[in-house]
């Protein structure tokens, strides 16, 4: 999934100056963004207040949407650089195509992980025919400087490790959690997990005190460290935690996002992450001229045009606005 905003503005993020070094409970509200003709997303990162959670730098939550009589997700070919995309579904399916030749249908509980490296383009669409409901999250992970020019690639993992406790089943999407490790390749110390809480669950999940964390609510109402978190909202938790209390009076689903605070300062514009205005401007020229990002074959439609660059200079800054 992409940032389809035709009035895109740069987001500056990274650096450790604004990382909260102690446990906090900061509830983040989403911004609603129209994605294509029939999909509206709730954008949690970048947020008006907080820009990153570890290396996680972009979080969209969408659905559940009834797309039985709709085209569903239709995201034309578009470019990425300097990041990984993480596709995670609760309901429905998404057909992924990219310029490396990948063609893969992603289903609930499966990891679709695309590493853009120096340059890639891809499209995402609901297959025809497709399931009635579409519900999931799309997330980006910023690549550190040492790895951001790597070769582009796509991974699909249908069998992911789990961590269980009474009332809890955690599916590990990316990184490490309580001794389990995702098969998806990570470039920074990170964790992403889908936490299914059953009715009456009252558990404590072990955490790494060096990580900062947030919890995104997908469905139901979960109490995270005593705070009720409703679907489409995210609770930022800061650092310094060794465990996380979780409770649910009815079935609920949340995503745990965390990682070592990302030290480098970044510029995120449209679907690119760079370190300077020159890099972003060059990426736009390359995409407009049809070079570098390759071709997505098989999608029935034209690629997305890049938005105009802002007139003000783009400068990397810190993690919050």
Q: Give the tens place of pLDDT for each residue, 56-87.
A: 999 999 999 999 998 889 999 999 999 999 99
Number of C-beta neighbours around residue 200 at 10 A: 12
pLDDT of residue 29: 87
pLDDT of residue 321: 46
Bridge partners, 155 (sequence order): 113
The percentage of the chain sitting over the pLDDT mark of 70, rounded to a whole number, equals: 91
Residue whose token pair is 């057909």: 95
**Distance between CA atoms of 303 and 107, rounded to whole angstroms?**
24
| Contact by Cβ (8 Å): 141, 57 | yes
Token couple for 281 = 């401007």
| Contact by Cβ (8 Å): 151, 117 | yes
Listed as ranges, residues in the chain with pLDDT below 50 are: 1, 6, 15-16, 320-321
pLDDT of residue 2: 55
pLDDT of residue 12: 52
| Contact by Cβ (8 Å): 132, 138 | no
pLDDT of residue 4: 56
| Contact by Cβ (8 Å): 97, 297 | yes
| Average pLDDT taken over every residue of the chain | 92
Number of C-beta neighbours around residue 69 at 10 A: 7
**Distance between CA atoms of 72 and 47, rounded to whole angstroms?**
26
pLDDT of residue 135: 97
pLDDT of residue 32: 87
**Distance between CA atoms of 127 and 49, rounded to whole angstroms?**
36
| Contact by Cβ (8 Å): 96, 127 | no
């Amino acid at each position: 999934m992409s940032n389809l905003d035709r009035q895109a503005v740069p987001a500056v993020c990274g650096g450790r100056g604004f990382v909260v070094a102690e446990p906090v409970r900061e509830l983040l509200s989403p911004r609603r963004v129209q994605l294509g003709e029939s999909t509206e997303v709730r954008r949690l990162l970048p947020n008006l207040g907080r820009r990153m959670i570890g290396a996680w730098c972009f979080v969209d939550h969408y659905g559940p949407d009834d797309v039985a009589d709709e085209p569903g997700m239709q995201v034309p070919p578009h470019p990425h650089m300097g990041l990984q995309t993480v596709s995670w579904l609760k309901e429905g399916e998404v057909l992924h195509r990219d310029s490396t030749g990948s063609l893969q249908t992603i289903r609930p509980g499966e990891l679709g992980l695309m590493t853009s490296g120096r340059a890639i383009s891809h499209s995402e669409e609901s297959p025809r025919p497709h399931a009635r409901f579409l519900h999931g999250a799309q997330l980006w992970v910023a690549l550190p400087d040492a790895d951001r020019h790597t070769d582009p690639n796509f991974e699909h993992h249908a069998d992911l490790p789990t961590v269980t406790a009474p009332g809890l089943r955690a599916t590990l999407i990316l990184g490490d959690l309580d001794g389990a490790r995702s098969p998806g390749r990570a470039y920074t110390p990170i964790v992403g997990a889908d936490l299914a809480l059953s009715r009456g669950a009252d558990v404590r999940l072990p955490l790494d005190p060096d990580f900062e964390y947030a919890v995104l609510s997908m469905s139901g109402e979960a109490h995270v460290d005593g705070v009720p978190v409703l679907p489409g909202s995210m609770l930022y938790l800061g650092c310094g935690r060794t465990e996380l209390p979780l409770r649910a009076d009815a079935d609920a689903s949340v995503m745990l996002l965390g990682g070592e605070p990302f030290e480098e300062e970044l510029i995120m514009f449209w679907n690119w992450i760079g370190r300077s205005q020159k890099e972003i401007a060059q990426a736009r020229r390359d995409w407009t001229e049809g070079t570098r990002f390759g071709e997505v074959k098989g999608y029935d439609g034209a690629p997305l045009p890049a938005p105009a660059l802002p007139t003000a200079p783009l400068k990397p800054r810190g993690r919050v606005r």
